[in-house]
Structure 1
Amino acid sequence: MIGTPVDIGRLTGVWRIDPAHSEVSFTVRHLMVRVRGGFTRFSGTITVEDEPDRSGVRAQVDTASVDTRNARRDEQVRGADFLDSESHPTASFESARVSRKDGRYVVEGQLTIRGEMRTVAFDLFLLGVDTDASGGTRAGFRAYSRISRSQFGVTGNVPLPGGRVLIGDTVTLEVEIEALKER
């Protein structure tokens, strides 16, 4: 991954995710290629403490805001076989542990999709810290993880000849976040 391991010590404080300068995206296999999608509405905070294990992340995603650049596919993904946005309008993540591993940080926590909660781990990288045009302090983060969509009840698929299926089970989650320091 591009970026450097996070230096928690210089980031102490509470940071608010700036959705206008951030991205929450995913990729999943469709036949033999990867299809990318994302969400246009999300929010969250990052709290960085002197001790990494006391730091945390809380984030929410509006599942109806899915965007795969194909309106028909977006409707299918919002539907009952996939995200079921009508019954489960929000997906969320709340960290439980931040740890250092092999020179990088790992954020473990509870990811909830379709009401199903599972523990996942995100590899976390710092992209930089800078001052914006208004004098605010901003930090850039990148995190990624792989999940099994079926473990969250996202089981929609189409069987193909030879026992294959149209859509893969492994989903790569990627977030690229610009956050504004609140305190």
Structure 2
Amino acid sequence: MATNWKIDPTHSEIQFKVKHLMITTVTGNFNEFDATAVTEGDDFSSVSSVDFTASIDSISTNNSQRDEHLRSADFFDASQYPALTFKSSRVEASGDDFTVTGDLTIKDTTKPVTLKAEFGGIVIDPYGQTKAGFTVSGKISRKEFGLTWSAVTEAGQVVVSDDIRLLAEIQFVKQA
């Protein structure tokens, strides 16, 4: 029997990290997102699918000027491409460790990516809702997804790295 799960956005966070000037890391997040998962049964021993969407307009790096630049055509081009999406093609479990493979679409580019997920467990909250938790991580090349803006300092330092680390704390709620 298939079980549907929906992300609990108030207890989840979606982050990305990128090197700035190759000496420090800047963290950003998406404040508006949605995700669903379908499992066979009431646990995550067999996962049929995972779908995720994030609103590009909801990007926040705690710097409004940088956020507007990220939303511009130099990066995500939010006016033309308002969301990024991920659709799983395969989910493999090994104990509490999962490998989630699927298609990530940013702008008009779709590429396969593999994410790691660590299962935190399933609990029933004080309101009787069944919840499941995961810590998700991965890495992508921003340039492979058309995020090619680049600059170099006078000393020859790259301003923004190509590698983007993805980090998420996900809490799913079992649907009735």
Same fold (TM over 0.5): yes
Q: Aligned letter for 1:46?
A: A
Moved over 6 A (4+): none
Quick one: distance in 1 between partners of 2:52 and 2:147? Answer: 20
- Residue 3 (structure 2) pairs with residue 13 (structure 1): yes
2:24 to 33, 36, 56: 33
Query: In structure 2, how many angstroms separate the alpha carbons of the residues matched to 1:172 and 1:67?
Result: 16
For residues 28-60 of structure 1, what are the alpha-carbon distances to aligned partners after superposition, in whole Å with 9 as ceiling and x for unaligned? 000110100000000010112269675210010
Select the residue among 34, 44, 53 that pairs with 1:43: 34
Q: Quick one: which of 136, 139, 150 aligns to 1:157?
A: 150
1:15–1:119: structure 2 CA closer, same or farther, 3 Å change rule? same
Asked if the contact 1:25/1:174 (under 8 Å) is kept, the reply is yes
2:96/2:118 contact within 8 Å kept: no
One-letter identity of the residue aligned with 1:44? A
Q: What is the DSSP-based 3-state SS (H/G/I as helix, E as strand, rest coil) of the residue aligned with 1:164?
A: coil
CA RMSD of aligned residues (A): 1.9
Q: Which residue of 1 aligns with 2:60?
A: 67
Deviation at 1:101, TM superposition (A): 5.9
User: In structure 2, the residue corresponding to 1:55 is in which secondary structure?
Assistant: strand
Match for residue 48 of structure 2 among 29, 42, 55? 55
Q: Corresponding residue for 1:170?
A: 163
Query: Unaligned stretches of 5+ in structure 2?
Result: none
Paired residues of 1:13 and 1:49 also in contact (CA < 8 A): yes
Which structure 2 residues correspond to residues 39-118 of structure 1 after superposition, within 5 A?
Answer: 39-49=30-40, 55-100=48-93, 104-118=97-111
Is the Cα–Cα contact under 8 Å of residues 39 and 46 in structure 2 kept in the other structure?
A: no
The amino acid that maps onto 1:16 is K
Pairwise CA distance, 1:163: 4.3
SS at match of 1:80: coil
What SS does structure 2 have at the residue aligned with 1:64? helix
2:146 and 2:166 map into 1 onto residues whose CA distance is 16
For residue 134 of structure 1, report the CA deviation from its aligned partner: 1.4
CA distance in 2, matches of 1:127, 1:53: 16
1:29 is matched by which residue type in structure 2? Answer: K
Query: Matched residues in 1 for 2:155 and 2:95: separation?
Result: 41
Within 1, Cα distance between the matches of 2:95 and 2:30? 31
